[in-house]
Structure 1
Amino acid sequence: MNDSIELIALTVALPSTTTTARTKIWRGLKAAGAAVLRDGVYVLPASPAHETTLLGFQTEVENAGGGGELLTLPARDEAQAERFRALFDRSEAFGEWLVDCRQLANERTQDLPTLERRLRTVRRQFEQIAAIDFYPGEAQAQARRELEALANHLATLLSPGEPRALVGSIARLALADYQGRTWATRARPWVDRLASAWLIRRHIDPGAHILWLASPADCPPAALGFDYDGATFSHVDGRVTFETLLASFGLDAQMPLARLGAVVHQLDVGGVPVAEAAGVAAILNGMRLNIADDDALLAAASTVFDALAAHFADAPADKV
């Protein structure tokens, strides 16, 4: 038996006439982060605090003329433990929150009190989701980074001239210093390397020569490596290489590129779901299977990234 995860379940049976009580109890359980195992069975990860929470709802059920039982449900094996954890996956909630966060990041109003108020609201909403994210993963980490970036961005408007803490360890670089260079990454690229190579060619170094390495050890001393351990540009502070390049060259303020970065992030390391991600993965995978030459693969994949960037530039933030 797998004891790595255990749930506490509350069974709820209420008379059909207790509509008000039923709605109140359901809303309360939802706010507490309870998941529905099946009709009338609500579960939370086992802990003394959650047991106290469900005991309180059991009392409410009984006071409303219904019946309820508290049960302990240990996972039988790792597969069931994973299904139990999935009941509390907050990726979609963080994804919906991210829409509001990015809308505020793109706000052009100079009404500073309104910006302050909306930032407090967005922060409070994040904290509410995080409070019931019982098995936090990449989605929460990604959302937290976006919140920190938003707070730093708005701070420059709310308190101009004040020094700001740097996020992560990414230094701002000048595009002029990175022209006509050789950029090197591992051969047979997948999404982060393909998107990064596209970004380099389209927005950083139009004259870039992309070198595909059989091994990172083969990288020439003068080349700029990307997306491998020890490369000049790679994963930093939770960002994938594409996002690191965006931040390094000040391109992360361009919303179409930031949204494309969210797709790359989700496909490379997981995190907040992005509607376009599955389709992009299918298309790139098909190209990778059909095209053996890496330069030809990049050329084909670049049409996908060009189209995505145009789509994100055209689509309203709440539709992306």
Structure 2
Amino acid sequence: MQTFSSRLTSGDEVRGARSIVRSGTSLEEVVAQIDLDGPSFVLVVNSDGSPAGVISTEELLQRTYASDDVERLKWAGRPIESILPVSLSGGGHHDESARAVEAAPEARDCTSFVYGGRLHAVATDDDILLSWKSLAPFLSRIARDSLTGLVTRLTFLRSFECELARARRTRKPLTVILADVDDFKQINDQGGHAVGDAVLNSIAAAIHGSVRSYDLAARFAGDEFVALCCECGPEAVHIPVHRIQNAVRRMPVPRELTLRPTLSIGVASIERVDAESTVESMLEQADKALYAAKRAGRNRAFSIASGVGSRPRIVPEEGESACEIERDTAIF
């Protein structure tokens, strides 16, 4: 690591401002605003000017120029904070010292740390400024589950809060899906933990591949997964549920197992998100529906829709009738 003494100034303030965008700005507006031939990263700031996160211009362009027309249009209207891999916001509280995006008017003595021909950090008398390019891979690993590669529970809950707030503003529907692996202890007992991990990996891939690119799938607990489906209401929950069920059925069964892995699924869906809707209440409803699926024999899905009461209802398999199933299935 080489060190160099130099002066840190705000001479690039005007050029740098083109790489700073406010949260709430749509991806389409961001692409039109920033200099795509300029810096490799965009700093997203909150309404009070405090930093919210950083996104690479490469990631931004991948979303806004997606090959699928429908997904490209969906991404274009989504707020920039919806694709932040890591949030820098400290729980919504920001003091005056957090206004880091305001350029300092004076020059300061600093030390630059260079390794492998690349700047990694700049140190002043009272702080160290680390290169985002150096930090990004590490922070990305923190935000993802080490086994399955899905985002972690903490990352999911942060995104859930953002999507719920957006759905509340736009009065759009929102759906959350909880999925629990049936008889996972028996799977571990039969095949060992290596087989159990392989099953979790396969199920994670099945769920991730069954939702759209602007939805979000996560590992929620040990053998429990969750997916957030944006702008998906009660009348459409069967679509992602069927995709997940069919993907799990197509999974190869490890030769060590005598049982095929299945999922019990609980869904909570809101047609129009309002002020009464919270992350906690939606997860509680989804968990209630999941419990109904377990009580009814596992390997099935139940859903609860807002405005229809709190009674879980079965999500019919493809080609099945809900009325026919409910005659033979206890609903709890």
TM-score computed with the length of structure 2 as normaliser: 0.24
Higher RCO (C-alpha under 8 Å, 6+ residues apart) = 1
